[in-house]
Structure 1
Amino acid sequence: MDGDVRSRRGPVLAAGAVLWRQQPDAPDGRVELCLVHRPRYDDWSLPKGKLEDGESLLVCAVREVFEETGHRVTLGRPLQPQHYTVAGRPKIVRYWLAEADPHAAERVPDHEVDEVVFLPAGEAVRQLSYERDAELVREALRGPLRTTPLALLRHAKAVSRAAWPGPDVERPLTPEGAADLEPLGEALGTLGLRRVLSSDSVRCAETVRVFAGKQGLVAELEPHLSEESMRVPHDRHPAEAIIRSLLRDGPAMVCSHRLVLPLLFRAAGADPGRGLEPGGFAVLHHDQGHVVAVERHRPRGAGPAPVIDL
């Protein structure tokens, strides 16, 4: 999604997670947090690492958590990014909350990480070597640890209306738009989505097909999410009820159009912002239907980092 964002002229970008679990056998559900020890620096930190070429921040966070802890995770609520300087060069680290994998095997120590521990939250804050990490943990603990994602996606780049001779509903993706589907699916795959709803327009159905197939899901085509539905007078647009229903349900994604997406944001009680570019998406993280954080991701090559509204 974000392309190669490690330009030598720009900041170093990295991503990671505040990895948490409920303390085993604790009657009050106390939380433990994961810390890693790096022998090169002799420090205790949160799992994180630099982006690889062509990698999105979301994919980077999941990969780095697995490489440093052995836990395969899906990403939850985003946290405030860290900004600091390393060797005279600015660095930005994006973090998400992530629940620990109860089936993770013990990680074999190596030269990068020689110890992985889960500590009660208060002890973890004291153990961390950097105050910026401790503050990030305190921030994470001030909000809900477990949230549900609702992704709102604008279809990938389509053939222009002027160049398409057929009905608009049948207008397909361009080769450029089709080429973005693989990295788009990888980024969306970090969220643990279990339902896919799409406008029945070809350009939307094509956008979600690759992702749905790889996740073993069936894309539900919904005419009320199409541009054509906006031309029919409604006291309340049926798409609003779809969004409200999804906010009572599990992790889901909706693919629609530029003209429809502001309606979907407002139905969820979220600010539409300046809109999404073709192939861009927003993730609305909600707690029992109440949106607590929104992150917006630009399509591949369009920009270096997501915008996060907390």
Structure 2
Amino acid sequence: MSPRRGTVVAAGAVMWRTGKRPGDLEICLVHRPKYDDWSLPKGKVDRGEHPLAAAAREVWEETGHQVRLGRRLPTQGYDVAGRPKLVHYWLAEADATAGPREPDDEVDEVVFLPVEDALQRLTYERDADLARAALAAPVRTTPLVLLRHAQAVRRPDWSGPDIERPLSASGQRQAAALVPVLAALAPSRVLSSDAVRCVDTVRPYARQHRVTLELEPSLAEESLRTGSAAQPTGDLIRTLLADGPALVCSHRPLLPVLFEAAGAEPGDTLEPSEFAVLHHDDDGAVVAVDRHRLDAA
């Protein structure tokens, strides 16, 4: 859903946690004294901010929970005071280490309620409908992020070995802009082709979040040209689908191989710095695929 001119863009999450009894879930609601309503945590996207980053930030600001975003949920569109509003939502599991949030003028109460109680307390039916949609599929998933490297110096403009071809100035800006966006997904492993343009795309995130940057030659274009990509790359992806959240940076020609190994449809070609999030369950099965670009807002 593309925003109309003058649209207020916001982002938030349906945040959940396990209830007191096994199998039970609780949903987080916030009370806003300005409107005297109960709603899902959300807020406006800042100028130049990606909705993914905004959703994680707003959840933190309104609830005190630092979360990793899960599956993307249906986007809400409605009018507020005569202006169109577009709200992007994701699932998010609550932070078990979060302490109580001090009340303020924006949010004076944060509660977790069993699903049926939460649905009844929500002021807006659209929020209840969104929560129902969120719970209709697996709520706990793990992200595998497949990222095409940022914009590189054009091949005709580079005389050195292709593996050493660097990012362009715009590509360097894209790599920096990716940091808060990827942080919303919090990958704990970062794997990259050993090509400079891939390494320099994910290095800013890895460095800022103190994640070891793992170089994987099988993710490089050269492995595709020599016919040595399919088996090791497939094994790598299948291993990651059985592991924790991960980020993989590679090249356009390799991306279909990565999607195929994950059992997911590749869809349209990812543009430079664009990425897909493959949300998989505990069995490694991909249950949803989200695609994102830096100019999403």
| TM-score bucket (shorter structure) | over 0.9
Q: Choose from 51, 72, 77 the match for 2:71.
A: 77
Q: Which has the higher helix share?
A: 2
Unaligned runs of 5+ in 1: 305-310
Alignment of 1:47-58 (within 5 A): 47-58=41-52
Residues paired across the two proteins, number: 295
- Counterpart-to-counterpart distance in 2, 1:227 and 1:159: 16
Q: Name the structure 2 match of 1:63.
A: 57
Q: Name the structure 2 match of 1:159.
A: 153
Q: Name the structure 2 match of 1:101.
A: 95
Q: Name the structure 2 match of 1:291.
A: 286
**Pairing 1:210–2:204 present:** yes
Q: Name the structure 2 match of 1:175.
A: 169
Alignment of 1:238-277 (within 5 A): 238-277=232-271
Alignment of 1:89-168 (within 5 A): 89-168=83-162
- Counterpart-to-counterpart distance in 1, 2:230 and 2:12: 41
- Counterpart-to-counterpart distance in 2, 1:72 and 1:27: 24
Q: Name the structure 1 match of 2:24.
A: 30
Which residue identity lines up with residue 18 of structure 1 in the other structure? V
Instruction: Return closer, same or farther for 1:235/1:276 CA change in 2, 3 Å cut-off.
Output: closer
**Pairing 1:40–2:34 present:** yes
Unaligned runs of 5+ in 2: none
- Counterpart-to-counterpart distance in 1, 2:256 and 2:108: 48
Post-superposition CA distance 1:104-135 (Å, at most 9, x none): 22122222212111111110011111111101
Which residue identity lines up with residue 8 of structure 2 in the other structure? V
Which residue identity lines up with residue 76 of structure 1 in the other structure? G
- Counterpart-to-counterpart distance in 2, 1:234 and 1:112: 56
- Counterpart-to-counterpart distance in 1, 2:41 and 2:230: 46
Q: CA deviation at 1:172?
A: 0.4
Q: Secondary structure at the match of 2:208?
A: helix
- Counterpart-to-counterpart distance in 1, 2:6 and 2:171: 27
Which residue identity lines up with residue 203 of structure 1 in the other structure? R
**Pairing 1:194–2:188 present:** yes
- Counterpart-to-counterpart distance in 1, 2:196 and 2:134: 40
Which residue identity lines up with residue 258 of structure 2 in the other structure? L
Q: Choose from 4, 9, 24 the match for 2:5.
A: 9
Structure 1 range deviating more: 10-19 or 255-264: 10-19
Q: Secondary structure at the match of 2:74?
A: coil
- Counterpart-to-counterpart distance in 2, 1:36 and 1:133: 12
Conservation of the 8 A alpha-carbon contact between 2:259 and 2:265 = yes
Q: Secondary structure at the match of 1:180?
A: helix
Q: Secondary structure at the match of 1:259?
A: helix
Instruction: Return closer, same or farther for 1:264/1:10 CA change in 2, 3 Å cut-off.
Output: farther
Root-mean-square deviation (Å): 1.7
- Counterpart-to-counterpart distance in 1, 2:229 and 2:164: 28
Q: CA deviation at 1:151?
A: 0.2
- Counterpart-to-counterpart distance in 2, 1:80 and 1:278: 26
Q: CA deviation at 1:75?
A: 0.9
Which residue identity lines up with residue 161 of structure 1 in the other structure? R
Percent of aligned positions that are identical: 60
Q: Secondary structure at the match of 1:211?
A: helix
Instruction: Return closer, same or farther for 1:229/1:109 CA change in 2, 3 Å cut-off.
Output: same
